Amino acid sequence: MPASFIKIAFSQYAIIAFCFGLFFPVFAWLIQAIDLGYPLSLDSLLKIHQQYRVIWVTDAAPLILWLMGCLVSIYRFRTIKQIKTLNKDKKRTQLILDSAPDGILITDAQGCIDSGNRAAHQMFGYQSNELAGKNINSIRPKQYAEDLTEKLAEIMAEGVDAFQVFEQEGLRKDGSRFPVEYSVSLVGDGIDSKIVLVVRDVSERATLEKQLNQARKLEAIGQLSAGIAHEINTPIQYINDNMRAISDYLVDIELLSSGYQQLLRELEQQNLLGKQVAMLRNLEQQCDLEFINQDAPKAMRQSLQGIQRVSDIVKAMKNFSPSGAGQVSMLDINKSIENTLMVARNEYKYIADIELEFGELPLVECHAGELNQVFLNLIVNAAHAIEEKGEQRGTIRITTSVPEAGYIEVSITDNGCGIPEAIQQKVYDPFFTTKEVGKGTGQGLNLAFQTIERQHKGRIYLDSHEGEGTQFRLKIPEKMQMDPSEPEYPQQPRQAIG
């Protein structure tokens, strides 16, 4: 007999049920024997069964109850097995969750935390199981509480396919803050549904991004250094030439002046004029005094213009990378774009003409260095797009305006090769580039997206048609710390350029 059958047949529940079942036939026999006046004997038992056949039903009670006890045992064995399996699966699942490097939190629709893995507790500075029962807003700064509540409501409304990824700040038990990335999804359906938040500490990534942004700035300036040197060399060259000419002129003037002085002394001594005047005229012709008098002022003006050009370039370079990078300051966007154009001139001067249409803008509270870098990247990209198209000299149009209260808009449009529609969704991805090796790193547009959308809470819009050109519109808030729930700025059709 199988061991499992023996365990069930002789289980505690089966034996108790069988013994309890014996009570029913014995009690029936006893009652019938007393009622009929039969003595308690085997013959009396046989007579009772012959006279009352219904007693046979009572005799089956022990067997029926034994079978019921066996069924209870089977159910119990299976239940215990399922419980053990569930406990084993639960431990295995918890081990898997605890081995994950990212924090995992499971909450209900109201944001009450049911459980969290080891990484989540360590990340927020709590002991094991301390997070259970807390609200998700207790581990986030207060200013983000309403935003998360809205996101959880959106997840519940969208159903099982809902999924959102966003970056905010986390709040440790000791009150310190750190940047985190949330991946939020819905598990289950109906009242049993749960929200799963995968929390990733991006402090190291944020540090690396800052270092990468700084390296990108240095790389961009390094790429432009040859052009800047050329721009500075040109005015310096004609300053040098003009100064040499003026130096030569001064030697001649000094010689002529010496002749004049000698002549005056002789005239004073001898009162003679004819011979000396002739000699003076001859000396004037040798020195070409008339030409000197005409060219010297022109040379001096060119020298002054060259010096002013050098001064403007140096000033633009200084304004492009202001000291105290990363600090909030008030920026004149129009002046910033002019400085950027001056710095980047060598990238576009042989390729495209610049059209400027500046509106009257308020000063913008921003990270000036980062915005300057965005303008530089977009202008250089526009020049490269026109160069890649290679048909003729192109145009880069830059306009600024105030589309609505509290915001300014910068539009940079080119008539270059355009961006294929198939890759327009990828242009903001890190390291994605269509340029040849050595000409692009794939970080320019990602930096623009991070600076405008993440850092300044603005919007960046792309409108591009392959073979026709590209327009980037930057919507930048006038003040920092704008409300992140601001409605999306509607896109407008791109204007064609000549």
List, for residues 201-222, the tens digit of each pLDDT value.
Answer: 887 777 777 767 766 665 666 5
DSSP 3-state assignment of 476? strand
Lowest mean pLDDT segment, chosen from 49-58, 93-102, 264-273, 364-373: 49-58
More confident residue, 159 or 491: 159
Token pair in block for residue 20: 């309890």
User: What confidence score (pLDDT) does residue 447 get?
Assistant: 80
Please determine, for residue 458, whether its predicted confidence score (pLDDT) is greater than 80.
yes
Return the DSSP state at 135: B
Residues composing the chain: 498
Mean pLDDT, all residues of the chain: 76
Which amino acid type is present at position 64? I
Q: Which is higher by pLDDT, 296 or 406?
A: 406
- This model's pTM is above 0.75: no
- In tens, the pLDDT along 414-433 reads 999 888 887 777 777 665 56
Provide φ and ψ at 438, rounded to 5°: 95, -15
Angle at 72 between CA 70 and CA 78, to 5 degrees: 100
* DSSP strand pairing (394-404 vs 352-357): parallel
DSSP state of 402: E
Spatial contact of 181 and 206, defined as CB atoms under 8 Å apart: no
Token reading at 188: 């289950």
Q: What phi and psi, each to the nearest 5 degrees, are found at residue 37?
A: 75, 20
Q: Span 100-201: which CATH code?
A: 3.30.450.20
Say how many CA atoms lie within 13 Å of 320 toward its Cβ. Answer: 25
Contact assessment for residue 390 and residue 359, using Cβ atoms and an 8 Å cutoff:
no
Asked whether residue 293 carries a pLDDT value surpassing 80, the answer given is no
Nearest CA among 349, 273, 342 for reference residue 310: 342
Q: CATH classification of 329-477, choosing from 3.40.50.2300, 3.30.565.10, 1.10.3720.10, 3.40.50.1860? A: 3.30.565.10
Q: What is the pLDDT of residue 473?
A: 92
Report the range of poorest mean pLDDT among 212-216, 357-361, 378-382, 463-467.
212-216
Q: Is the pLDDT reported for residue 286 higher than 90?
A: no
Question: What is the residue-wise DSSP string for 113-181?
Answer: EEEE-HHHHHHHT--TT-STT-BGGGGS-GGGHHHHHHHHHHHHHH-TT-EEEEEEEEE-TTS-EEEEE
The secondary element (H helix, E strand) that includes residue 154 is helix 145-158
User: 115 φ, ψ to 5°?
Assistant: -160, 165
Q: pLDDT tens, 235-265? A: 777 777 777 777 777 777 777 777 776 776 6
